[in-house]
Amino acid sequence: MQTPINIDPEYLTSRLKALLDIASPTGFTDEAVRYTARELERLGLEVKLTRRGAIRALRPGAAERPARGIVSHLDTLGAQVKALKENGRLELVSIGHWSARFAEGARASIFSGKGTYRGSILPLKASGHTFNEEVDTQPTGWRHIELRVDALARDRNDLVQLGIDVGDIVAIDPQPEFLENGFIVSRHLDDKAGVAIMLAALEAMQREKVETPVDTYWLFTIGEEVGVGASAAIVPEIASLVAIDNGTTAPGQNSDEFGVTLAMADQTGPFDYHLSKKLYELCCEHGIRVQKDIFRYYRSDAASAVEAGHDVRTALLTFGVDASHGYERIHLHALMSVAKLAVYYSASEVQIERDAEEVSGLRGFTRQKVRQAEQELKADEPDVS
């Protein structure tokens, strides 16, 4: 595909705003699934849901195999009620891996059997007028915070009367801000920004009638934050799976809030050599800013698919997130860049035709031949810098 692709920034940001407005901690994703499925149907895709709500949307290509999959996840971090406390407050446990340091001060919704309550997550010693310097010296952790319910809740019995119980889901307010300079600050950009990227890529493909050589499956999972991710959304036709998720712009990392950050490995090991190489070359071909990174403490939908036994090539495209799993910040430039790459990848020609079959002979199997690197610099040359 040589024609420049135009991603609609207003469409992308409007979808992201709408998604952020829908609470979807893991285990409470039905409404986010409904919203996304309806939008995919509006865009003209054939949409199917698994029993629990993972979405598989098909955009037909010239051939059924070797199909491509692109995946992001609808579920976010959150919490659950661990215990009703005698002081009328709630003990919490986290949904997903995130620090209680970032829960302190958050506004939240508690989804009880009688309806939704609002509340604030506070450290156990929240009053400076009472605890003085102990406010600053108390430990950080989920055992050292509690949720104050904005209702008459003086003791445990009041909580019972309100209908609040152990196991109730707690959603953390995203508090999004969309700045005119392109920065977006919010909780839950992981991975609602990834979902918005995929929808924006599809909107552009439908608007510009982009043809693809093979079928593409657009997958949206509901359990990535607890490690199950794309384990149940893959079909046998899919030979390559590209996950779209957040990169980590932190000290010691090469991720960036601008352009595409191509992950070369995470804690589960290297991503597919050939697929990653292709994605990098597509960036270079189409003038998309790209940098590579490796994540030590990270896993994605791609890892879930492989660990579930799916024999698919995997790669990970990321948009750089500052303070991931905390007070997150991204830039629209990265979202637009990843969306463009998703379109160019979907429209690119198949390089490994053998991948159409799940098992076949050596004929057509890939190679990783490399030549000896040539070095032009000589030690006795003068320094001209």
CATH number of the domain residue 130 falls in: 2.40.30.40
Same domain membership, residue 266 and residue 124: no
- Please list, residue by residue across 10-49, b when 16 or more beta carbons sit within 10 angstroms of its beta carbon and e when fewer do: ebbbebbbbbbebbbbbbbbeebbebbbebbeebebebeb
**Strand segments (E) across the chain:** 46-49, 55-59, 63-73, 78-84, 90-95, 107-112, 115-123, 145-149, 169-172, 177-178, 183-186, 214-221, 238-248, 260-266, 269-270, 290-294, 313-321, 328-331
Let me know if residue 96 belongs to a domain.
Answer: yes
Mean pLDDT computed over 24-29 = 98
Catalytic residues: 224
pLDDT at 378 over 80: no
Domain that includes residue 121, residue range:
81-172
Of the three residues 140, 172, 204, the one that is the final residue of a domain is 172
Same domain membership, residue 227 and residue 162: no
Same domain membership, residue 71 and residue 87: no
Let me know if residue 149 belongs to a domain.
Answer: yes
Let me know if residue 182 belongs to a domain.
Answer: no
pLDDT value of residue 232:
85
Condensed to tens digits (0 to 9), the pLDDT of residues 243-288 reads 999 999 999 999 999 999 999 999 999 999 999 999 999 999 999 9
Domains held by the chain: number? 2
Same domain membership, residue 68 and residue 87: no
**What is the spatial order of strands in the sheet that 183-186 belongs to?**
177-178, 183-186, 328-331
Q: Helix H segments across the chain?
A: 9-20, 30-42, 128-131, 134-137, 156-162, 189-207, 273-285, 301-307, 332-347
DSSP bridge pairs for 238: 67
Let me know if residue 377 belongs to a domain.
Answer: no
Of the three residues 107, 138, 172, the one that is the final residue of a domain is 172
- Mean pLDDT, the chain, rounded, equals 95
Condensed to tens digits (0 to 9), the pLDDT of residues 90-106 reads 999 999 999 999 999 99
Let me know if residue 281 belongs to a domain.
Answer: yes
Same domain membership, residue 219 and residue 204: yes
**Is there a contact between 104 and 123 (Cβ–Cβ < 8 Å)?**
yes
Query: Residue 318 is part of a domain; what is its CATH number?
Result: 3.40.630.10
Let me know if residue 385 belongs to a domain.
Answer: no
pLDDT at 383 over 80: no
Q: How many CB atoms lie within 10 A of CB 89?
A: 22
Same domain membership, residue 115 and residue 210: no
Same domain membership, residue 90 and residue 21: no
Joined tokens for residue 163? 């209908």
Same domain membership, residue 207 and residue 290: yes
User: Rounded to whole angstroms, how far apart are CA atoms 48 and 111?
Assistant: 27
pLDDT value of residue 385:
57
Same domain membership, residue 66 and residue 88: no
Condensed to tens digits (0 to 9), the pLDDT of residues 319-351 reads 999 999 999 999 999 999 999 999 999 999 999
Let me know if residue 207 belongs to a domain.
Answer: yes
Same domain membership, residue 289 and residue 254: yes
Let me know if residue 376 belongs to a domain.
Answer: no
Sequence-separated (6 or more) residues with CB below 8 Å from residue 92: 79, 80, 81, 82, 103, 121, 142, 145, 146, 147, 170
Same domain membership, residue 42 and residue 110: no
In 3D, which of 28, 189, 45, 204 has the Cα closest to residue 112? 28
Which pTM was predicted?
0.95
Same domain membership, residue 336 and residue 319: yes
- For the chain, how far is it from start to end, CA to CA, in angstroms? 41
* 357 backbone dihedrals φ, ψ, rounded to 5°: -105, 140
Condensed to tens digits (0 to 9), the pLDDT of residues 190-207 reads 999 999 999 999 999 999
